Amino acid sequence: MASFPMAVCSSLVFFFLFLGFSEARDHLVGGKSDSWKVPSSESDSLNHWAEKSRFQVGDSLVWKFDASKDSVLQVTKRDYVTCNTSSPIETYTDGNTKVKLERSGPYYFISGAEGHCEKGQKLIVVVISEKHRPSMGVSPAPSPAEVEGPAVAPTSSAHANFKEGFLVAMGALVGFLLM
Ligand SMILES: *[C@@H]1O[C@H](CO)[C@@H](O)[C@H](O)[C@H]1NC(C)=O
């Protein structure tokens, strides 16, 4: 029977390997194809959508829009805030736009259509770095103080969710081994 916990441990190792090197994903901006437009309300805004998504280095953003009416501009933070369309970093006009997220950190996008950015057609995507993955070597279960203490104040909600999932998985393992 001693080999049984070993089997559990090795499947857990594979589980975390899989999590760590999970495939790059395509994110359709707004979750549906006609989303690149002036939002009808605050809750409809693309940043609302972005906050609920988890973007990793290597993932791509995909926009579908009518190329005769709109475009996507990648801009600096300053130009994002002021809706300045005069000197974008990149301009995408093909209506079927794919942007690969090559680095961690924030990306700023605004609409190239006149007046649309001012009405809220803009998007910030924060890409999380691979450094945020929990290391594979950890085996001690976290103490309750570590879990609940202020020391684990999350830096982003995506990170927090991931950490929570990790702790749940570790807790399940410990519970299993004690059975
Ligand atoms: C927009 O950006 C350009 C280039 O950075 C700058 O010359 C121009 O003054 C800016 N316009 C506004 C309205 O801030």
- CATH at residue 135: 2.60.40.420
The tens-digit pLDDT sequence of the chain (179 residues) is 555 566 665 565 555 555 555 678 999 999 988 899 999 988 889 999 999 999 999 999 999 999 999 999 999 999 999 999 999 999 999 999 999 999 999 999 999 999 999 999 999 999 998 655 555 544 445 444 444 444 444 444 444 455 555 555 655 655 555 56
How far, in Å, are 13, 66, 136, 165, 179 from residue 80 at the CA level? 42, 22, 38, 34, 55
**Assigned domain for 73 exists:** yes
Q: How far away, in angstroms, is 113 Cα from ligand 1 center?
A: 17
**Contact, 40 vs 4, CB < 8 A?**
no
Of the candidates 30, 35, 19, 33, the residue with the CA atom closest to the CA atom of residue 52: 30
Q: Whose CA is nearest to atom 1 of ligand 1?
A: 84
Report yes or no on 4 lying in a domain: no
State the total domains in the chain: 1
Q: Is residue 87 part of a domain?
A: yes
Cα 90 from Cα 102, distance rounded (Å): 14
The pair of three-digit structure tokens given for residue 133, joined into one six-digit string? 């993955």
In a domain, 69, yes or no: yes
Torsion region of 92: left, alpha or beta (phi above 0 gives left; psi -120 to 50 gives alpha): beta
Q: Whose CA is nearest to atom 10 of ligand 1?
A: 84
Q: Which domain holds residue 40?
A: 22-143
